Chains A and B, each alone.
Chain A
Amino acid sequence: MYKSIKHKVRILTIAMAALAVLFASGCSVTPKVDPDIAYEPPKHKAEDYIKETVVYAADVYDPWEGFNRRAYTFNYYFDKFIYLPIVNTYEFITPNYVEKRVSNFVDNVFEFNNFTNNLLQLKLKRTGITLARFLVNTTLGIAGLWDPATDLGMKRQTEDFGQTLGHYGVGDGPYIVLPVFGPSNLRDTTGLVTDAVAFSVAGPPAWVDDDTTTLVFNGVAAVDKRHRESFRYYRSGSPFEYDMIRMLYKSKREIEIAK
């Protein structure tokens, strides 16, 4: 097991290093202005409308926008050529009934993160509900394939480490579009990594302690996650989609943290 952790940490380090290189490459987002061309000012000029004193809802701290916009497009292509074809195949061959069982199973395994994060936020009632859900669904719900706990009035109490950090007042930090994972920020990315490490070191993968099982589960969970997520990159048709999603992501997380 020790070896496997070391292995994971190494992969993580490589991934982070790759990200750092991408950031450092400093992709520009400023419209390319040619000094030799005289630009005719538009009918409605920015300086006539944008006021220093006004706070804009669309303004989200995004110092890495150059990287982020490209990661956003990368995700569009990743979805188009890799992720969604796999998900579509999965949806095609799997009956809805089975898909639902898979979703329940995955949710049940990830109750581990809900448990730890509710506990870390000292939300004891919710921690208790999460523990009870896990016990009921694992037994009565046959390894979590069904969700009798919800029918018994124990609703799922989703929490992640990003929310835990937010709960204790940690700010968003810069906005980040993670390759594959999508919109995030520095706080939530930290949360994502922490949850993943805690999950694999102390959670169900550690209990099972079998690399193949864990690998298969991670694959299934990734497909199930995209299967349940209806968001599609560049489907709104809005030329301001990147800006809209950035604003909405921030607000959505505020709402989730307040719970």
Chain B
Amino acid sequence: MFKRLDRILGGCLCVLLLSCGLAGAYDYPFADPYVATVVGTPTEYMEVLPAEVPVKFDTLQMFPERDVPGILWNLDELRYSYIRQKDPAPLIFLIAGTGAGFNSPKMQLMQKAFYRAGYHVISISSPTHPNFIVAASTSGVPGHLEEDSADLYKVMQAIWQKHQKKMKVTEFYLTGYSLGAAQSAFIARLDEQEQAFNFRKVLLINPPVSLYNSVLILDEMLEHNIPGGLDNFKAFYQRIVNAFADVYAHGEDVQFNNDFLYRAYEYRKPSSDEPLAALIGTSFRISSENMAFTTDVLTKAGYVVPKNLVLRRHDNVRDYAKVLSRLSFLDYFRGIFVPHFQAQDPSVTEAQLIKTLSLRSLDEYLRNSAKFGLIGNEDDLILLPGEIDYLRDLFGSRATIFPHGGHCGNMAYPDNVSAMVSFFADAKN
């Protein structure tokens, strides 16, 4: 009897000690950056946000004259979303990450958090998303931070033009995650000259430092982690499907919903990070395929489709997908991107271009402008060793760096949501 009492008391003591010791500590559940990046934040750990918000969808035509080939028929109008507040409030623009649309889960999360905080919200797809390439990219060749940001800036002005009569805006804010964060920095600098918005505050969430370094990391995640190489991708894919089938059949109350990956992970923890890295790489490769194909067809680059072959709406494109599944972002960079810029200016070198694709090219501006804030993770997978230290040095006290979370895995975690929202809330006062 006493023994049991001992145990219970001991247990209570432990809990007490733990809760004291951890007060103020960061309790995001995954210390492994690969798990964090793939699984994200499961519902039970998520910030509770409104289930429904009065979001509206709209489209915009930046290039009504553009001749869009049949296969891209459904992409010629840029889709975006907005939420209006009834009363005067700040307006915040959100820019999506690589390959993501304006309505991706991370964008919806940010949209809800900022709407709840009392702002008007406008969500815009990444310039690497096929819809943006076709409908809003001036060159049709995405990846150039400065040019893409200029396109985004034009889109933001066009959207604002359309809604300014009905939105009572007190001031303008800007934020983005991943690639969208890097673009936010370039947009902010452009805005210093053009002054269309005069952004009061700009928040960068998990930005890459060097775009080039980050895409190399992501390319390798796929190429180095499929057992037997990419020729055996199907076997890898089928193993994942079988594992999911097993989880679905035998797991406790497993359903196809937002938490499926988390349940699957809990049920069958992979013994190494390799399959997780391969999944991150696969997701990035799919974004790259979509982007490269869209650019190839739109600009007639002759990359995987013959230059003078016009693909129609219902043409079979499976072979192009197969070829593209073997081509990395680096292949795109060398096969379309660099030639495009060299055609404009033959003296431009690859090394020069790589240099422009980095926050380091804005070092002085970012270091000295008080309007910036940064949210990052110590273990962000898209950063090379030393790059997080560079960000810490660059932003100093304006940086909030969480101990883990991988690449954007912890964005929905309450501490992160509150860091994101309070950065702007402080500006309001």
Contacts and interface: CB of A to CB of B under 8 A. Distances in A.
Interface in B201-256: 231, 233-235, 237-238, 241-242, 244-246, 248-249, 253, 256
Contacts of A70: 314
Q: Main SS of the interface on chain A?
A: loop
A209 interface: no
User: Which bracket fits the contact residues of B?
Assistant: 35 or more
A40 B256 CA distance: 45
B327 A37 contact: no
A237 B290 contact: yes
Given A239-B294, A240-B290, A259-B245, 5 more contacts: A37-B308, A58-B325, A237-B75, A238-B290, A239-B72
Contact of A239 (B103, B130, B237, B244): B130
A56 B248 contact: no
B109 interface: no
A57 B285 CA distance: 14
A196 interface: no
B312 A32 contact: yes
Interface stretch (A11-19, A197-205, A249-257): A249-257
A30 B315 contact: yes
Question: Chain B binding site: helix, strand, loop or mixed by DSSP?
Answer: helix
Interface of B: 71-72, 74-75, 101, 103, 125, 129-131, 231, 233-235, 237-238, 241-242, 244-246, 248-249, 253, 256, 286, 289-290, 293-294, 296-297, 302-323, 325-327, 331, 335
Q: Size band of the A side of the interface? A: 35 or more
B304 A29 contact: no
Interface string A223-249: 000000000001111111001100000
Contacts of A255: 241, 244-245, 248
A35 interface: no
A29 B311 CA distance: 10
A56 B234 contact: yes
A237 B136 CA distance: 14
B237 A57 contact: yes
Interface of A: 27, 29-33, 37, 39-46, 49-51, 53-59, 65-66, 69-70, 73, 76, 155, 234-240, 243-244, 251-252, 254-256, 258-259
A32 B318 CA distance: 15
A259 B302 CA distance: 46
Given A42-B305, A155-B253, A239-B297, A29 B314 contact: yes
A30 B312 CA distance: 9
B316 A29 contact: yes
Contact of A49 (B244, B294, B313, B326): B326
Contact of B304 (A30, A43, A155, A259): A43
